[in-house]
Structure 1
Amino acid sequence: MRSSPHSADDLLTSYRPAGQTETKDVARVRAMVAGTSDPWSRDIPLHLTGSALIVHPETRRVLLRWHDRMGSWLQVGGHGDPGETDPLSVALREGREETGLADLRPWPTGELRHTVVVSVPGTPREPAHEHADLRFVLATATPDAASPEKPTAPLRWLSLPEALELAAEDNLRETLTRTRRLLG
């Protein structure tokens, strides 16, 4: 199931943020998108990323991935490849690459679910910067097929209460809370 491509600007124009923090983040992201020719470029200090929380609806579990750089369990996702402009497509590609799950699909729809500006620490190869992260929810029917892309990025299927307890970041807890409402 492929969704039709939507630009970040299209998604953000129709998106309704929840709360003061997200309202400020969405305003920053929209201004950045309007002010640059390539909002996905890693050469600018604030750039777009696409991510997703993966769910197995039948068991109401979520999949988290260990991120060494951030030192915490997070959702899957990342940077667009050259020429990519559809945030949902980026989240789907990154999700497949990071989990080995070939059957990922937008769930229950391809709607943008959360917009967050996240600080990313610098490394010897890359200065500190910020991700304008556009988040979605993806589902799999084959949770046992999940396989980490590398040994340093393990995956864990968790109940929502377990994931909320494990999450170190407030913004991930908010994404998990929104997903809990979708799962009912």
Structure 2
Amino acid sequence: MSTLHADATAALTGWSPADPGQRALREEYLAHLAERPDGLFKACLPAHITASALVVDPAGGRVLLTLHPKVGRWLQLGGHCEPGDATLGAAALREATEESGIAGLALLGAGGAGAGAPVPVKLDRHEVRCTGKDRPANVHLDVQYLALAPAGAVEEISEESLDLRWFGWDALPEPTDDSVRRLVGLARELVG
């Protein structure tokens, strides 16, 4: 078992969501990891764990969203785990940093930003075609974190986005799906 696999299992086992639907998803994710030593990587089909982070500016009351080129919706930042990722939180932080261009992001831990091990905020299971549009759909088992931006953070769009912008808590753009709206709501409760 890889260090990343062991960390993902520990992170999900140690997380206690209040919502019954989230508890059921957590059990599904843990079963996936128990069955699949490769369960964190894109090559694992029909499903694999992904890591994402909603970048939040609590002082400004805003979140950073990307207009995803393949999905055509405004989403949090994130993506596939890579062999060099030591932890699931590190994968989410790497993706958020790469896609936002913001240095100094800190994942929310049990004791606040950067305090303790990063804690998932939400899980989202969704169908995608990450292996190509001509390939069968597969499933992302996304583990979502909050990444707090440093004061004065300025984003820089990457090649992975059509657009990248800050939006106020109550001013999310269209099209933004309900899952992202729920994630933003949780972020606002935790740090807003």
> Given the two structures, how large is their TM-score scaled by the length of structure 1?
0.87
Alpha-carbon distance, 1:121 to partner: 3.4
- Where does structure 1 differ by over 4 angstroms across 4 or more consecutive aligned residues? none
Map residues 49-88 of structure 1 onto 2, 5 A cutoff.
49-88=50-89
Residue 96 of structure 1 corresponds to 97
Q: 1:143 to 1:99 in 2, by over 3 A?
A: farther
Aligned residue pairs, count: 179
Map residues 133-152 of structure 1 onto 2, 5 A cutoff.
133-150=142-159, 152=161
Alpha-carbon distance, 1:84 to partner: 2.4
Partner residue of 1:117 out of 117, 125, 142: 125
Map residues 15-54 of structure 1 onto 2, 5 A cutoff.
15-43=15-43, 44-54=45-55
Structure 1's unaligned 5+ residue stretches are: none
Aligned 8 A contact 2:65 2:166 in 1: yes
| Structure 2 CA distance for aligned equivalents of residues 48 and 67 of structure 1 | 19
RMSD: 2.1
Aligned 8 A contact 2:78 2:95 in 1: yes
Deviations 1:88-110 (A, max 9, x none): 10011111111111111113342
> Equivalent residue of 2:143, what SS?
strand
> Equivalent residue of 1:145, what SS?
coil
Residue 171 of structure 1 corresponds to 179
Counterpart code for 1:66: L
> Equivalent residue of 1:148, what SS?
coil
| Structure 1 CA distance for aligned equivalents of residues 61 and 180 of structure 2 | 17
Alpha-carbon distance, 1:167 to partner: 5.6
Farther off after superposition, 50-59 or 103-112:
103-112
Deviations 1:106-142 (A, max 9, x none): 1334211111111113634643111111111001125
Counterpart code for 1:58: A
| Structure 2 CA distance for aligned equivalents of residues 155 and 181 of structure 1 | 23
Farther off after superposition, 166-175 or 119-128:
119-128
Identity of aligned residues (%): 29
Structure 2's unaligned 5+ residue stretches are: none
Counterpart code for 1:22: Q
Deviations 1:44-92 (A, max 9, x none): 2110111000011211110000112111000000001124251110011
Alpha-carbon distance, 1:42 to partner: 1.5
> Given the two structures, how large is their TM-score scaled by the length of structure 2?
0.84
